């Protein structure tokens, strides 16, 4: 065999082996890269959902119910106020020494007129949500501000027949996984459905009284 031809064949075979090795390495690493990227995105979405939960809970404290409308929640943060009860005066050490708890000492001082309580209104945003970006609160991360979280709210009856407020916030995997390997996202969704679970993130519930996330 011609020496030049032999060298050419060897170079070709080495190139093929390197190509196959790189392809195999890429196939092995693809799920790992996907998992890292997906988990990173998931954590960002979870963080935003927790912020929305905080707004919902502040709204509940003020109005006795949750809201299913983002415009209502945003108006609450931007323009509404909450009532704060402020103590005026100082509880003497002598009362603290005879009381079992701080609350008991404050109530005793209140009865004696040593302290008083003043009811004031303060801005929701200034008191609770100074660093909250209201303009993008409703949008799911990684969707270029095109997809909004699914939000429901209402009341359910408990076993004792009392009505309790509930809300549910959802983000489908497809929403925040754009740009990631599509087949691996489909596999995640199929696995969730096989387990009769929502293929994505949920905070709260419309069927039970909870404000937890489905990852807790």
Residue 36 domain-assigned (yes or no): no
In order of 27, 90, 117, 135, 211, the CA distances from 98 in angstroms are 71, 16, 22, 51, 39
Higher pLDDT, 146 or 19: 146
Residue 33 domain-assigned (yes or no): no
Residue 42 domain-assigned (yes or no): no
User: Is the pLDDT assigned to residue 24 strictly greater than 80?
Assistant: no
Q: What per-residue string of b and e applies to 15-40 under the rule 16 or more CB within 10 Å gives b?
A: eeeeeeeeeeeeeeeeeeebeeebee
Return the pLDDT at 9.
64
Q: Give me the number of domains the chain comprises.
A: 1
End-to-end CA distance of the chain: 68
Paired with 83 in beta bridges are: 121
pLDDT tens digits, 161-191: 889 999 999 999 999 999 898 999 999 999 9
Average pLDDT for residues 142-149, to the nearest whole number? Answer: 95
Return the pLDDT at 11.
63
Residue 72 domain-assigned (yes or no): no
Residue 3 domain-assigned (yes or no): no
Q: Where are the beta strands (DSSP E) in 63-198?
A: 81-88, 116-123, 150-157, 163-172
pLDDT band, residue 31 (cuts 50/70/90) = confident
User: Is the pLDDT assigned to residue 147 strictly greater than 90?
Assistant: yes
Residue 113 domain-assigned (yes or no): yes
Q: Domain range for residue 111?
A: 78-128
Range from 42-51, 84-93, 98-107, 203-212 carrying the lowest mean pLDDT: 84-93
Q: Report which DSSP code applies to 129.
A: -
Range from 22-36, 52-66, 119-133, 134-148 carrying the lowest mean pLDDT: 22-36
Place of tokens 């708890």: 101
Residue 124 domain-assigned (yes or no): yes
Could you tell me which of 166, 156, 171, 177 has the C-alpha nearest to residue 215? 171
Could you tell me which of 123, 131, 124, 165 has the C-alpha nearest to residue 47? 131
pLDDT band, residue 117 (cuts 50/70/90) = confident
Residue 198 domain-assigned (yes or no): no
Return the pLDDT at 213.
96
- How many other C-beta atoms can be found within 10 angstroms of the C-beta atom of residue 165? 17
Return the pLDDT at 77.
93
Q: Is 144 left (phi over 0), alpha (psi -120 to 50) or beta?
A: left
Question: Are 58 and 211 a contacting pair, CB within 8 Å?
Answer: no
pLDDT tens digits, 62-111: 999 999 999 999 999 999 987 777 777 888 888 888 888 888 888 888 88
Higher pLDDT, 6 or 70: 70
Return the pLDDT at 33.
87
Kindly state the percentage of the chain with pLDDT values over 90: 54
Return the pLDDT at 212.
96
Kindly state the percentage of the chain with pLDDT values over 70: 86
Burial of 56 (0-12, 13-18, 19+ CB in 10 A): buried
DSSP sequence for 155-188:
EEE-TTS-EEEEEEEEEEHHHH-TTS-HHHHHHH
Mean pLDDT score of the chain? 86
């Amino acid at each position: 065999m011609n020496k030049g031809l032999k060298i050419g064949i060897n170079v070709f075979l080495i190139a093929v082996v390197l190509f196959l090795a790189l392809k195999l390495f890429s196939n092995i690493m693809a799920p790992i890269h996907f998992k890292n990227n997906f988990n990173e995105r998931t954590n960002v979405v979870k963080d935003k959902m927790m912020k929305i939960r905080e707004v919902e809970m502040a709204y509940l404290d003020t109005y006795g119910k949750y809201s299913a409308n983002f415009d209502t929640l945003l108006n609450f943060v931007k323009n509404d106020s909450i009532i704060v009860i402020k103590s005026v005066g100082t509880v003497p050490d002598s009362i603290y020494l005879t009381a079992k708890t701080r609350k008991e000492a404050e109530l005793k001082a209140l009865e004696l007129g040593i302290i008083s309580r003043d009811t004031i209104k303060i801005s929701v945003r200034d008191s609770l949500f100074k660093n909250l970006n209201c303009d993008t609160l409703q949008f799911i991360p990684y969707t270029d501000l095109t997809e909004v979280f699914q939000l429901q709210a209402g009341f359910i009856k408990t076993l004792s027949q009392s009505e309790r407020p509930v809300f549910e916030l959802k983000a489908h995997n497809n929403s925040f996984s754009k740009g990631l390997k599509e087949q691996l996202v489909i596999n995640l969704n199929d696995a969730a459905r096989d387990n009769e679970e929502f293929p994505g993130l949920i905070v709260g519930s419309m069927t039970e009284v909870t404000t937890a996330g489905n990852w807790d």
